[in-house]
Structure 1
Amino acid sequence: MTLRTTAAATLTTGAALLALSACGGTPSAADLTKDAKSSSTSAKSTSVDIVGSVNGTRTTFSAYGATNGSNQKQIQTQGKASSEGLVIGKQAYLKANTDFWQQIGANATDAKKLNGKWWKGAANDPASNPALDVKQMLAEFFDSEDGKKLASKDAKVTETKTAGKDTYTVSASDAKDAVKLVVTRDDKPQVVKIENYSSKLTNTKANYTFSKWNAVETYKAPSGAKPITSVLGGQSGSGASGSTGK
Structure 2
Amino acid sequence: MARLQDKVIIITGAAQGMGATHARLCIEEGAQVVLTDINAEKGLALAEELGSNALFIQHDVTCEQGWAQVVEQTEAHFGPVNVLVNNAGITMAKSILDTSLDDYRRIIEINQVSVFLGMKAVIPSMQTRKQGSIINISSINGLVGGAIGYTDSKFAVRGMTKAAALSCAPYGIRVNSVHPGVIATPMVIQEDTKAAVEAFAKNIPLQRLAQPEEVSSIVLYLASDDSSYSTGAEFIVDGGLTAR
The two structures have a TM-score, normalised by structure 2, of 0.22
Larger RCO (CA under 8 A, 6+ residues apart): 1
Q: Which has the higher strand share?
A: 1
- Structure with bigger gyration radius: 1
Q: Which has the higher helix share?
A: 2
